[in-house]
Amino acid sequence: MLLRTDILSAADGDAVSVENAAAAGDVLLVCEHASRTLPQRAGDLGLSEEALSSHIAWDPGALDLARMLSRSLDATLVAQRFSRLIYDCNRPPESPAAMPEKSEIYDIPGNHDLDVAERYARTAALYVPFHDRIDAIIAERKAAGRRTVLVTVHSFTPVYMGRHREVEVGILHDEDSRLADAMLAGAGAAFRVERNEPYGPQDGVTHTLRLHGLPSGLANVMIEVRNDLLKDEAGKQAMASYLTGLLQEGLGRISS
């Protein structure tokens, strides 16, 4: 089999960005859906500009929010530099959702009938380096005797399949609910906060938590914020400040 190795060109740069690498805090932030950029050779995957800037390509506002949390929590942030349309790094390679043919109401022509070589190449170019990097950072911290708390940051669309979503902040977990429970206990009334909404482990969205958090027993949580709350700077700041408090308080509860 001839393997394709040309998913990312030199001009595209690396698949992964690591920010605040020297941070001293316990939290390690991960943003799988940070970017709507497509690798040059992917073209537009047959999608309109509207689709390419919508939530199917990325989590609008999530990277900005994660950067604010990186500052407030003194936390290292690992972000994927390319759109989930080319590879969704919160899905394993065998999942149809890793390179979706359809997302919500949009058909994705450039992802139809992908052959094994193309699927392998995208996995090798985008998924493997992303999760390898997270693994390496966790291992390095462990070797240095440091604690790691895994927090993934996402946003979701307020209207999905024509239905309005009431939930504003989702606190998601898989089998280990320690941190989620502690955060939910302190959520208060500032926002409508719910457990495993608008998605849950049954939807396959806890892949990163399962890959890096559960096997080594790291406290972990996935945060989903409705993206209309992240439209402007003030909204992002308010959410960052709320989540900083919630995480700090939650971490205090589980370590005491």
* 28 in Cβ contact with 149 (< 8 Å): yes
Integer Cα distance of 171 and 175 in angstroms: 13
Indicate which single residue of 154, 173, 207, 226 sits in contact with Zn ion (rule: CB under 5 A).
154
Give me the least distance between CB of 116 and Zn ion, in Å please.
26
Q: What is the CB neighbour count within 10 angstroms for residue 14?
A: 12
Give me the least distance between CB of 62 and Zn ion, in Å please.
7
Counting contacts by CB under 5 A, is residue 226 touching Zn ion?
A: no
* 170 in Cβ contact with 224 (< 8 Å): yes
Mark the segment that binds Zn ion (CB under 5 A) among 31-39, 67-75, 103-111, 166-174: 31-39
Nearer to Zn ion, 99 or 121 (CB): 99
Using CB under 5 A as the binding criterion, the count of chain residues that bind Zn ion stands at 3
Counting contacts by CB under 5 A, is residue 33 touching Zn ion?
A: yes
* 127 in Cβ contact with 89 (< 8 Å): yes
Say what the alpha-carbon torsion angle 103, 6, 35, 113 is, to the nearest 10 degrees.
0
State whether residue 212 is helix, strand or coil. Answer: helix
Indicate which single residue of 26, 28, 59, 70 sits in contact with Zn ion (rule: CB under 5 A).
59
Nearer to Zn ion, 88 or 121 (CB): 88
Give me the least distance between CB of 169 and Zn ion, in Å please.
14
Mark the segment that binds Zn ion (CB under 5 A) among 59-67, 126-134, 165-173, 240-248: 59-67
CA R_g for the chain: 18
Counting contacts by CB under 5 A, is residue 173 touching Zn ion?
A: no
Token pair 């049954």 in the structure block, residue = 202
Interface residue list for Zn ion (CB under 5 A): 33, 59, 154
